[in-house]
């Protein structure tokens, strides 16, 4: 005894979920992402006294949690822009570029991130990588184009696309997870994948990286800025 037990991944997610409150103020229009780290953020927000103008959500799942916390959820078309967007990541590099979409919400996440003035990424320390790509890259695809897009992805990247069976996105589409990538030029691959007909979008967030990264570590929250 004498040493505190190591913090588990959920404790680190909770830590950064709570730390993200520092970026949220009364009267803001808030963009809210998707996933277990964001769920901790929503819990912290619900327990706070912050009075938002409203929230724009990146998924039906987050909208439900926000409404349960009595936070008004608006359509992006009505909100126009968000002051801050808070979201997690599956991988993040030191340039604050990310892979996202493990929860299949990548397209709406990318849209809300694009329409937000500031993007604060919250992640536990295991998500930090030198090179993106160990986490299979999610690509949202129009269902009828699935096989065609998979073949094009093999030709373009040399990676192995795998159909995420049983998953339908909030937009009614399917997900291909691309294994075996080492993404040394994330902006180029993000752009090139989106040129394949039938791709809705892919989970590389490099053209619009995060502005701030809050990384949960056993030594506390580490903040990096772009």
Ligand X SMILES: O=C(CO)[C@H](O)[C@H](O)COP(=O)(O)O
Only one residue has tokens 């009267």, namely 27
Give the nearer residue to ligand X in terms of CB position, either 21 or 148.
21
Residue 70: both structure tokens together: 């009595």
Which of 36, 118, 160, 194 lies at the binding interface for ligand X (CB under 6 A)?
Answer: 36
* Reduced 3-state DSSP string for the chain: CCCCCCCCHHHHHHHHHHHHHHHCCCCCEEEECCCHHHHHHHHHHHHCCCCCCEEEECCHHHHHHHHHCCCCECCHHHHCCEEEEEECCCEECCCCCEECCCCCCHHHHHHHHHCEEEEEEEEEHHHECCCECCCCEEEEECHHHHHHHHHHHHHHHCCEEEECCCCCCCCCCEEEEEECCCECCHHHHHHHHCCCCCEEEECEECCCCCCEEEEEECCEEEEEEC
* Span 198-217, contacts to ligand X by CB under 6 A: none
Asked if residue 101 binds ligand X (CB under 6 A), the reply is yes
Query: Smallest distance from the beta carbon of 105 to ligand X, in angstroms?
Result: 4
Asked if residue 34 binds ligand X (CB under 6 A), the reply is yes
Asked if residue 31 binds ligand X (CB under 6 A), the reply is no
Binding site annotation covers 110?
Answer: no
Query: Smallest distance from the beta carbon of 36 to ligand X, in angstroms?
Result: 3
Asked if residue 33 binds ligand X (CB under 6 A), the reply is yes
Asked if residue 177 binds ligand X (CB under 6 A), the reply is no
Residues that are catalytic: 109
Query: Smallest distance from the beta carbon of 167 to ligand X, in angstroms?
Result: 11
Site string for ligand X, 108-147 (x = CB under 6 A): -x--------------------------------------
Beta bridge partners of 178: 137, 161
Which of 37, 63, 169, 173 lies at the binding interface for ligand X (CB under 6 A)?
Answer: 37
Binding site annotation covers 35?
Answer: yes
Binding site annotation covers 125?
Answer: no
CA distances from 193 to 27, 30, 149, 159 (A): 38, 29, 9, 12
Site string for ligand X, 69-88 (x = CB under 6 A): ------------------xx
Binding site annotation covers 102?
Answer: yes
At a CB cut-off of 8 Å and minimum separation 6, what does 63 contact? 57, 73
Annotated binding site: 34-37, 87-90, 100-103, 127
Site for ligand X, rule CB under 6 A: 33-37, 87-90, 100-106, 109
- Which segments are annotated as binding site for substrate? 34-37, 87-90, 100-103, 127
């Amino acid at each position: 005894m004498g040493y505190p037990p190591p913090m588990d991944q959920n404790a680190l997610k909770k830590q950064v979920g709570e730390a993200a409150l520092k970026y949220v103020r009364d009267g803001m229009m808030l963009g809210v992402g998707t996933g277990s780290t964001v769920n901790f953020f929503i819990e912290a927000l619900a327990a706070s006294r912050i009075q938002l103008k409203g929230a724009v959500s990146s998924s039906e799942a987050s909208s439900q949690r926000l409404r349960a916390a009595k936070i008004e959820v608006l359509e992006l078309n009505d909100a126009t822009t968000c002051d801050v967007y808070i979201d997690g990541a599956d991988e993040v590099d030191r340039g604050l570029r990310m892979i996202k979409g493990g929860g299949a919400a990548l397209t709406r996440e990318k849209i809300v991130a694009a329409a937000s003035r500031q993007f604060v990424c919250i992640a536990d320390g295991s998500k930090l990588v030198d090179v993106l790509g160990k986490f299979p890259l999610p690509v949202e695809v129009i269902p009828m184009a699935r096989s065609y897009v998979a073949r094009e992805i093999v030709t373009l990247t040399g990676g192995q696309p795998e159909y995420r069976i049983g998953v339908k996105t909030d937009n009614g589409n399917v997900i291909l997870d691309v294994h075996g990538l080492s993404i040394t030029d994330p902006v180029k691959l993000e752009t090139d994948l989106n040129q394949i007909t039938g791709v809705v979008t892919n989970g590389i967030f490099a053209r619009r990286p995060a502005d701030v990264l809050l990384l949960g570590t056993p030594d506390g929250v580490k903040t990096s800025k772009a």
